[in-house]
Amino acid sequence: MRLTRRSTILLRVAVGLGLAFIYIPLLVLGLYAFNASKILEWPPSGLTFEWFPKAIESTARDALWTSIKVALVATTIALVLGTLASLAVSRHRFFGRETISFLVVLPIALPGIVTGVALNNTFTQVFGIDLSLFTVIVAHATFCIVVVYNNVIARLRRMSTSFEEASADLGAHTWQTFRYVTLPNMRSALGAGGLLAFGLSFDEIVVTNFTIGAGEETLPVWIFTNLFRAQQRPIVNAVAVIVVLISIVPVYLAHRLTREEGGAAAARGGKPIEAEATAVP
Amino acid sequence: MRTQDAHPVRTAWCVVAGLLAFMLLLAGCGGGGDNGGGGGEELSKLGKGEGQVNLIAWAGYVEPEWSKPFEQKTGCKVNVKVGGTSDEMVQLMRTGEYDGVSASGNATARLFEGGDVDPVNVDLVPNYKTVFSDLKDQPYNTFEGKPYGIPHARGANLLMWNSNDVRPAPKSWSVTMDPKVASKYRGKISQYDDPMSIAEAAVYLKMHEPDLGIDDPYELSSEQFDAAVQLLKEQRANVGEYWSDAEKQISSFANGDIQVGTTWQYQYFLLKEEGKPVAASPASQGFLPEEGATGWSDTWMISSEAEHPNCMYMWMNWIIEPKANAQVSEYFGEAPAQELACKETKNPNFCEEYHAENPGFWKRVYYWKTPLADCGNGSSDCKDYNDWVQAWTSIKG
Amino acid sequence: MATEAVVEKRSVGRRLAGLFHGRPRLQVSSLLAAPVGWLVIGYLGSLAILLLAAFWSVSPVSGELQKTLSFENFETLFNESVYRTIVGRTVLIAALVTVTDAILAFPIAFYMAKVASRRTKAILVIAVLVPLWSSYLVKVLSWRNMLGGGGLIDWALEPFGLSSPGLQGNTSVWLVMSYLWLPYMILPIFAGLERIPNSLISASEDLGAKPFTTFQRVILPLAFPAVVAGSIFTFALTLGDYITPKLVSNNQFIGNVVYNNILSDNLPFAAALALVPIVIMVGYLLVARKLGAFEHI
């Protein structure tokens, strides 16, 4: 698109300001991770590396491992359920089809506290089971379904059914077609959806608070417990910085996965840029 | 893919709807958990330790200084969850995943009524014999004639201020409660984020508006209640922070955001240790502003679903060991429950300073307790806890 | 050449596939069984049970649920003015945050989608996604430090004679929430803008439209559903949050009151209040669906 020089400059300034807004608090956070004193004052009085080894040794490690476990299982469940639902919606017509996409987005659109309390109530009062990592996984999977569903269904809609029909014509049965034709084409959507679901589950605190057992801790729960302990706060900051640095890897991977389809557009389930087609829905 | 009549799928939806309705029925008619108050069994014999004990405690009540020797002696590993308010503690106890709690008076009745705690067999707690007699058989730790807990310690809520910014040194709660005085410190006042603050206002009004006839700040008629609520609504404009996390309040005082407010000795001593210029009502006044104060008398209670009851009994006995009770009382800054602890304190005058042996002093300290509609004055028109909670929401706005 | 008839041993998979073949209803039902079961029975069921509790009451001391039908909770909600204030405040801030984020996000998304080179775009995408992975709690804490007395904002505004909005009131909540949800607004708008074929824009320019007119008449309408999609997140997340208001402000939002009532054992009242954001969000979602946002989430 051709823009006037002035517009381009203004745009660049706006982008710069926006990025500054996004990153300054993160940089401040990073700075505090090196803060020498335990009390937070600005500007920080001195710098030190001591919090990082302490962070790595602390109970945060167990919490991190628990978070990863929960996120992996929840993502897997979400992948399965999301794919099943999107296969049904994109390939068939049936009563109640429109409501599925509405239904799927509800857990993420309703306030976390409502989801958390409702699930907690059902687990403890109606079913009488104890809270544990299992209940957390169920809760996380519930709101992760939507991200997988949206990515996969967008991909399925773009994928012409002629491939599947050709495969059937060549003698493959349903599972073979799915395994050799449909699934490979969905791979990037599954990858992007799965990564987003993992990220959602990994950082979730509100619903987790209401569904986790007393003896367990995911990383956000650990942070929440230690947030105000003066002794622990610098360690919390260091842990946060470490997690952000580590997370650059999966974000980059997600980007590579979807790059062949036009970048984050496909990551969100959008159609790629087709030069001559109109994208008007 | 033909478009077909969706009959079978419609049937499927009907099945789903039916299951949903069934679930609702289950929830609506099924028993909602615990039985009504009491009915628990006390332990008859102390067995071997189970290897761990899960406690809910106030900040500063369970510290390595006395919990580590306990672990070494009994082999019971101590896991502690710090609660910020009694509400939080009651909720945590109701999950049934903890063995015991250091409950204040506004939690004990609720735990008993909810069937969450068992009576304590005091014969299994040898140190109980030498607990101060004015802590035994009290309405907040005795139900249906049976002891439901082991007294831990008691104290009064403190008025704390920044000695550099708040002059002259306040002698009365008017510095936070009287709108004229409090407005001098607008935005720098810290008030406890709990409906119990209504009792603080009632204590203030008991002295400053005697016409209201307030006697017990937890048993308030409509008129008295409304007056206290109104006072707090006026206070809101001056409040900088409603705190429920002790550490949060510490950092607010430390960086100067807050200059005066209600606090506990735990925060006071920690701030002093960091060299911050904080002061509280002096010992000569009994650590109390002139109106007196609300306070607490805490009791260790055992969960009715305790998985480690033996360790819990051992803990209850340990925490009122003269040495341990002395340690925790001095660390936190409260009056010990154990008589013999007074000989073990590092400061030989500790018990005297904290009036541990002076029952008369505690008449000016109004222990937290659950407000009930049926208060002692014969009529049942006092405001109950639900009213207090609703009012607190309105006060904070 | 095989003269014997190749009687294919039909594998289990093939036989099972045969069962489903030509029976689309069976296919649909078995595909949907798990997800729908999970969502409808598990999730909606839990919600329904919770909302059922809104019609009950609770005994103040023992916390026992009295399962008798009563409208007491709703009466309190309507009669006490404080709840109107709280709901109004929450909705207002949610709307403000949504508008703020839309304004902040659009230039960035536009630059990423239409102006930036391929390499810059890749860098920007990663740059926008990374903050999503830093802990929500720590970000809020960082803002709390920045907003507090003597923090970064005070220090930066001092030469202008201004001071930070502080940790009371609504401004801090608006700032922090706008910050937290910004990536959730950038990404859908970016995706939506990318979908707009460059040929449309070229056509508009060829027809003589100035850049601004192209923007106004072609790009904006096409990008609007994506903006609505992003707004679902910013609005919903603000509507229900209680941790941020608790950490950076004194004011109560819907989430705080729900949370406090759960803590005080008053589940029925919490459920009654929770109905408000549920109704609001369902309405919002229905409108958003009409506007085409569901293609862009």
pLDDT of residue B270: 86
pLDDT computed for residue B3 by the predictor: 46
Q: In this structure, which amino acid lies at residue C47?
A: L
Nearest to B211 by CA among B197, B223, B200, B199: B223
Q: Does B15 touch chain A (CB under 8 A)?
A: no
- Report yes or no: B33 at the A interface, CB cutoff 8 Å: yes
- By DSSP bridging, strand B365-367 and strand B278-280 are unpaired
Q: Residue B264, by phi and psi: left (phi above 0), alpha (psi -120 to 50) or beta?
A: beta
Phi (first) and psi of residue C121, to 5 degrees: -60, -45
Cα A232 to chain centroid distance, Å, stands at: 27
Phi/psi of residue A105, nearest 5 degrees: -85, -15
Cα(B298)–Cα(B60) distance, integer angstroms: 13
Of B9, B95, B248, the CB nearest to A228: B248
The distance of A228 to chain B (nearest Cα, Å) reads: 5
For A123, the closest chain C residue by CA position comes to: C46
Cα distance between residue C148 and residue C152, in whole Å:
8
CA C68, CA B55: separation in Å to the nearest integer? 35
Q: How far is C282 from chain A (nearest CA, A)?
A: 8
Reading across the β-sheet that carries B189-192, which strands appear in turn? Answer: B239-243, B189-192, B260-263, B158-162, B278-280
From chain A, the residues in CB contact with C295 under 8 A are: 154, 281
How far apart are alpha carbons B202 and B218 in whole angstroms?
8
Q: Are C42 and A142 in contact (CB under 8 A)?
A: yes
Structure ipTM: 0.83
H/E stretch holding B87: helix B86-94
Rg (CA), chain A: 23
Question: Is B79 at the interface with chain A, CB within 8 A?
Answer: yes
Pairing of strands B189-192, B239-243: parallel
Nearest chain C residue to B7 by CA distance is C25
SS3 readout for chain C: CCCCCCCCCCCHHHHHHHHHCCCHHHHHHHHHHHHHHHHHHHHHHHHHHHHHHCCCEECCCCCCEECCCCCHHHHHHHHCHHHHHHHHHHHHHHHHHHHHHHHHHHHHHHHHHHHCCHHHHHHHHHHHHHHHHCCHHHHHHHHHHHHCCCCHHHHHHHHHCCCCCCCCCCHHHHHHHHHHHHHHHHHHHHHHHHHCCHHHHHHHHHCCCCHHHHHHHHHHHHHHHHHHHHHHHHHHHHHHCCHHHHHHCCCCCHHHHHHHHHHCCCHHHHHHHHHHHHHHHHHHHHHHHHCCHHHCC
| A280 close to C (CB below 8 A) | yes
Confidence class for position C195, pLDDT limits 50, 70, 90: confident
Identify which of C193, C189, C170, C195 has the alpha carbon closest to the alpha carbon of residue C248: C170
Q: Interior CA angle at B63 toward B58 and B69, to 5°?
A: 135
Q: Chain A contact for C224, CB < 8 A?
A: no
Among the partner residues C76, C149, C263, nearest to B91 by beta-carbon distance: C263
3-state secondary structure of B335: strand
CA B108 to chain centre: 9
Instruction: Give the pLDDT of residue C104.
Output: 94
Q: Is C192 on the interface with A (CB under 8 A)?
A: yes
More confident residue, A55 or B216: B216
C52 touches chain B (CB under 8 A): yes
C-alpha B131/C-alpha B136 separation (Å) is 8
Both tokens assigned to A127 = 């079913």
- Inform me whether the pLDDT recorded for A43 exceeds 80: no
The secondary structure of residue A46, as a DSSP letter, is -
Chains near C (3 or more Cβ pairs under 8 Å): A, B
Partner C contacted by B111 (CB < 8 A): no
Please tell me the predicted confidence (pLDDT) of residue B35.
45
Give the model confidence (pLDDT) of B320-357 as tens digits: 999 999 999 999 889 999 999 999 999 888 898 888 88
Question: Minimum mean pLDDT among A206-220, B188-202, B372-386, C216-230: which range?
Answer: B372-386
What is the Cα–Cα distance from A223 to C140, expressed in whole angstroms? 12
Going from the C-alpha of B38 to that of each of B72, B91, B92, B372, the distances in angstroms are 34, 17, 18, 18
Residues 6+ apart with CB under 8 A from A160: none
Structural tokens at position C249: 């402000």
**CB of C149 within 8 Å of any CB in chain B?**
yes
CA–CA dist A74, A145 (Å, integer): 9
Nearest C-alpha neighbor of B149 from the set B331, B14, B312: B312
User: What does the alpha-carbon distance between residue C3 and residue A31 come to, in Å, rounded to a whole number?
Assistant: 80
**Of B347, B320, B345, B341, which is closest to residue B61 (Cα–Cα)?**
B320
Q: Is the dihedral of CA C73, C78, C82, C85 positive or negative?
A: positive
3-class SS string, B295-329: EEEEEEEEECCCCCHHHHHHHHHHHCCHHHHHHHH
Q: How far is B27 from chain A (nearest CA, A)?
A: 6
**What's the gap in Å between the CA of B39 and the closest CA on chain C?**
14
Query: Under a CB-based contact definition with an 8 Å cutoff, are residues A264 and C190 in contact?
Result: yes
Cβ atoms of A266 and A258 within 8 Å: the answer is: yes
Report the SS3 class of residue B142: strand
Task: List CB contacts (< 8 A) between C26 and chain B.
Answer: 8
Name which of B16, B91, B111 to mutate to probe chain C: the one with the most chain C Cβ atoms within 10 A of its Cβ. B16
Nearest by CB to residue A92, choosing from B1, B26, B245, is: B1
**Cα distance between residue A98 and residue B290, in whole Å:** 68
B-chain CB neighbours of C257 within 8 Å are 393
- Distance (Å, whole) CA B27 – CA A9: 61
Chain B interface, best mutation among C155, C264, C273, by max B CB count within 10 A: C264
- C212 contacts in A (CB within 8 Å)? 7
**In the predicted model, is pLDDT for residue C175 greater than 50?**
yes
Going from the C-alpha of A34 to that of each of A41, A239, B139, the distances in angstroms are 13, 11, 52
As given in the structure block, the two tokens for residue A161 are 């059914």
Using CB atoms, pick whichever of A41, A96, A214 lies closest to residue B97: A214
Name the residue in chain A with its Cα closest to that of C289: A102
The mean pLDDT of A58-62, rounded to a whole number, is 83
Residues written for chain A: 281
| Chain A contact present for B251, CB below 8 A | yes
Cα distance between residue A106 and residue A108, in whole Å: 5
Residue contact C252–B255, C-beta within 8 A: no
**Taking CB atoms and an 8 Å limit, are A215 and B32 in contact across chains?**
no
CB contact under 8 A, A102 and C289: yes
| Chain C residues within an 8 Å CB radius of A271 | 195
Q: C272: nearest CA in chain A?
A: A114
Beta bridge mates, B150: B300
* Cα nearest neighbour of C190 on chain A: A265
Write down the pLDDT at residue B30. 55
**Surface-to-core class of residue C225, CB atoms within 10 Å of its CB (0-12 exposed, 13-18 middle, 19+ buried):** buried
Bond into C60 cis (ω within 30):
no
pTM, two decimals, is: 0.85
Is residue C3 predicted with pLDDT exceeding 60?
Answer: no
Please, are residues A52 and A242 in contact by the beta-carbon 8 Å criterion?
yes
State the Cα–Cα distance between residues A181 and A176, nearest whole angstrom: 8
* Tens digit of each residue's pLDDT (9 = 90 or more) over A135-168: 999 999 998 998 899 888 888 887 888 888 888 8
Cα–Cα distance, C126 to C183 (Å, whole number):
11
Token output for A253 = 């991977």
Helices (H) and strands (E) in chain A, counts: 13, 0
pLDDT tens readout for residues B66-98 = 999 999 999 999 988 888 889 889 988 888 889
- The most confident of A88-92, C83-87, C153-157, by mean pLDDT: C83-87
Contact A255 C139 (CB under 8 A): no
Interfacial C residues in 109-168 facing A (CB < 8 Å): 110-111, 114-115, 121-122, 125-139, 141-143, 145-146, 148, 150-152, 154-155
CB-CB neighbors (< 8 A) of B6 in chain C: 25
Phi-psi label, residue B362: left if phi above 0, alpha if psi -120 to 50, beta otherwise: alpha
Minimal-distance CA residue of chain B relative to C76:
B390
Task: Round to whole Å and give the CA distance between B212 and A58.
Answer: 55
- Closest Cα in chain A to B274: A39
Cα separations in angstroms, C14 against A5, A164, B90, C8, C83: 64, 16, 58, 10, 61
Q: What is the pLDDT of residue A271?
A: 40
Give me the mean pLDDT over the C174-189 stretch: 92
CA distance A126 to chain B (A): 6
Q: What is the pLDDT of residue C10?
A: 73
CB B61 within 8 A of CB B332: yes
Q: Are B68 and B76 in contact (CB under 8 A)?
A: no
Positions in chain B whose pLDDT score sits under 70: 1-9, 29-39, 376-379
**Chain A residues within 8 angstroms (CB to CB) of chain B:** 39-41, 91-96, 122, 124-126, 130-131, 213-215, 228-230
Instruction: Report the neighbours of B using a cutoff of 3 or more CB pairs below 8 angstroms.
Output: A, C
Residues in B closer than 8 angstroms to A94, CB to CB, are: 6, 9
Question: Which of A26, A109, A154 has the CB atom closest to C281's CB atom?
Answer: A109
Token pair, residue B365, equals 């300290």
